Amino acid sequence: MTTIKDVARVAGVSVATVSRVCNGSPSVKEETRRHVGEVASRLSYAPHGAARSLITSRTSTIGVLLPDLYGEFFSEVIRGIDQTAQHHGYHLLVSSSHDGRPAIEGALRSMRGRVDGLIVMWPEMDAEIAVRNLPAGFPVVLLNAPATPDAFDVIMIANFDGARAMVCHLLDLGHTRIAIIKGAAGNVDAAERLRGYRVALAEAGATASPELEVAGDFTEESGFRATRELMLGEARPSAIFAANDAMAIGSLSALREAGLRVPEDVALAGFDDIPMARYLEPALSSVHVDISALGERATLRLLAAIRDKDGHQPRAETLPTILVLRRSCGAAFPASRPTATDSEPAISTIPLLRGAL
């Protein structure tokens, strides 16, 4: 492995000059620059990242801490982060699948000296504590984290608004018995979506009854089980709102198995609007979240914090959601069929989209 010394020796100059050439310092004679450059590429020299960042104390890398990498949600977040980071000359150091605080803290400390900043996604309620004892002033952006009294930058999804809008829509369609399949316990997104559901009901004068709120954990299978449970209950709901699409998919299977038609017998709606939603039969109504935009926003915010380490003011941003109505909720419009041209719904300020998406 060739080092800067090798290049210096072969080129017959000092290491300082080689360094200057590599970093495009203006105070190098054109002739020297050419010569050194030649030698460097002949020896296929590449500066040693660790050595460089040790002295410059910049790594051009941002760390990403995720609960998991499974499913379309996380991969989309990563994509959004990566694209933005890439574009600004940053790498991504990814770390996922940690269970519990000690694991998170371990991951956090192992990133010391390897990253310039962190994007942490940890929707568990107690995650923020782990982040607290990071060195003060270390750039961090939280994703979907519990409300943090402006100590950190936070990017959130409009979980509450989205859920409320969807339930309102179901109410408008005339449903009175609307069930919810809840998300994982202790998860912020889940809690907010539940709150949206309850408020929507309350606003309509309906009272939330406990037997209409069944537990789930964001997995397809939990949606399946929850729906079975609901259907065994005495007062069947006429509509089901699943706290995410994966559970809605499970729910759909359970409904089919029970011989119930969607939306004629039971209306169904999800949350997230993963790409698969449009391809289900019937196409799934959902609350669209521009997930990769979530990653992008977080990255931009983090880069800003890295650049302006002192003057940076933490703030909370909320990413709006869009109600996407398809057949499964029973809204009155012709059966939608996916076409190859509508690759992805456009993000806009329009809060409601119907049909072909």
Partner DNA sequence: CGGGAAAATGTAAACGATTACACAGAAACC
Partner DNA sequence: GGTTTCTGTGTAATCGTTTACATTTTCCCG
Give contact residues for DNA (rule: CB under 7 A).
1, 3-5, 12-17, 19-20, 22-23, 27-29, 31-32, 45-48, 51-52, 54-57, 113
Q: What value does the CA radius of gyration of the chain take, rounded to a whole number of Å?
A: 26
Q: Does 19 bind a copy of itself (CB under 8 A)?
A: no
Footprint of a copy of itself on 226-285 (CB under 8 A): 249-250, 253-254, 256-257, 275-276, 279-281
C-alpha closest to that of 282 among 328, 333, 334: 328
What is the amino acid identity at position 299? T
Taken in order 328, 331, 332, 338, the sign of the CA dihedral is negative
Smallest distance, a copy of itself to C-beta of residue 190, A? 19
Q: Which is nearer to a copy of itself, 93 or 168 (CB)?
A: 93
Q: Which residues 169-208 are close enough to bind a copy of itself by CB under 8 A?
A: none
Q: Tell whether residue 1 is a contact of a copy of itself (CB under 8 A).
A: yes
| Identity of the residue numbered 276 | M
DSSP assignment of 58-119 equals --SEEEEE-S---HHHHHHHHHHHHHHHHHTT-EEEEE----HHHHHHHHHHHTTTT-SEEE
Single residue of 33, 35, 52, 236 touching a copy of itself by CB under 8 A? 52
347 Cβ partners below 8 Å, 6+ apart?
290, 293, 322
The residue type found at 310 is D
Q: Which is nearer to DNA, 13 or 303 (CB)?
A: 13
Handedness of CA 128, 132, 135, 139 (dihedral sign): positive
| Least Cβ distance, residue 203 to a copy of itself (angstroms) | 33
Interface residues toward a copy of itself, by CB under 8 A = 1-2, 44, 46-54, 59-61, 69-70, 72, 74-75, 78-79, 82-83, 86, 91-97, 109-114, 133, 135, 220-221, 223-225, 249-250, 253-254, 256-257, 275-276, 279-281, 337-341, 343
